[in-house]
Amino acid sequence: MGQKKDLTGSEKSKIVRYLAEGCSSLKIAKLLKRDHRTIKRFIQNSQQGRKKRVEKPRGKITAHELRKVKRAAAKMPLATSLAIFQSCNITGVPKSTRCAILRDMAKVRKAERRPPLNKTHKLKRQDWAKKYLKTDFSKVLWTDEMRVSLDGPDGWARGWIGKGQRAPVPLRRQQGGGGVLVWAGIIKGELVGPFRVEDGVKLNSQSYCKFLEDTFFKQWYRKKSASFKKNMIFMQDNAPSHASKYSTAWLARKGLKEEKLMTWPPCSSDLNPIENLWSIIKCEIYKEGKQYTSLNSVWEAVVAAARNVDGEQIKTLTESMDGRLLSVLAKKGGYIGR
């Protein structure tokens, strides 16, 4: 073998050509009459390529930059550490250092899912619990609407919140936004619906009552016995289309008035067992990151998921009401876990 120290340019070109032809490094060494280790070293170095120069990360920031970060964190609730530092034009700071700096002035929080309850809300929730404490909840029809989108429920943002600040409450669209609006009810161990609100229809008092007439009353309620109708209590929340004078009067003409129409306290979705049903359905239709290409396909998924909810699951939800009322009283009107 040759004893040359370095490969010449001609030899390097030949190595590349031989490799392209499928020759092994050992064969190339024999062809060029060079040491096998020299050939292997050249091939390995060529495959690794030149390493890029990496800028050394910064370990600390100046007092002036620290004040800028503090102001940015206050103005940008739920932002990431990277977004906060970039807004201050501070670069080269690794994530571990950014988070360590922010921990002294902020904390990681998720957006508040429920608005805070004031004193009036809590008192009304307690009064409601006391009023219905002896109610036979197997006779209550719990109703509500749910909106489903093509891409799943909005992810609750998680980011840095300055100390002493509250996480913002995100805007949750009840109507609009390109989804399917679904209405359903549960009573004892039975699911009523789900029924789909026509696309493009905004639920005001008139359209809400028409929707109930075409779905709930014609397709389910009218088939029930007189004794069932006499004892059933209809529950709905305080959405404007539900609680308006028009809707209240219309329901009264249908026989749902006074004791047969349950009053509802403000900010109390945690007390409605059908909210748990919506969670079950959403977990099913959006499992494994499932997304949909049309409103009809997501509606079909809702119907299929609803059919898979058995009567025992629904009965467990409706039978949880006694415990929910006791929890409200124990927490003096505060939110309960769902």
- pLDDT tens, position by position, 124-154: 999 999 999 999 999 999 999 999 998 776 5
Lowest mean pLDDT among 22-31, 136-145, 240-249, 276-285: 22-31
> Distances from the Cα of 81 to the Cαs of 61, 69, 100, 161, 284, in angstroms?
14, 9, 10, 10, 33
CATH placement of domain 119-155+177-331: 3.30.420.10
Q: Under DSSP, is residue 108 helix (H, G, I), strand (E, B) or coil? A: strand
The angle, 0 to 180 degrees and rounded to 10, between the axes of the packed helices 9-20 and 36-48 is: 80
Q: Which of 282, 270, 237 shows the shortest CA–CA distance to 145?
A: 237
Whether the full predicted model's pTM is greater than 0.75, yes or no, is no
Report pLDDT digits (tens) over 6-49: 888 888 888 888 887 888 888 888 888 888 888 888 888 876 65
Question: Is the per-residue pLDDT at 310 higher than 80?
Answer: yes
Listed by start position, the domains of the chain span 9-47, 64-105, 119-155+177-331
Render pLDDT for 73-123 as a digit per residue (tens, 0 to 9): 888 877 888 889 999 999 889 988 998 899 888 877 766 667 789 999 999
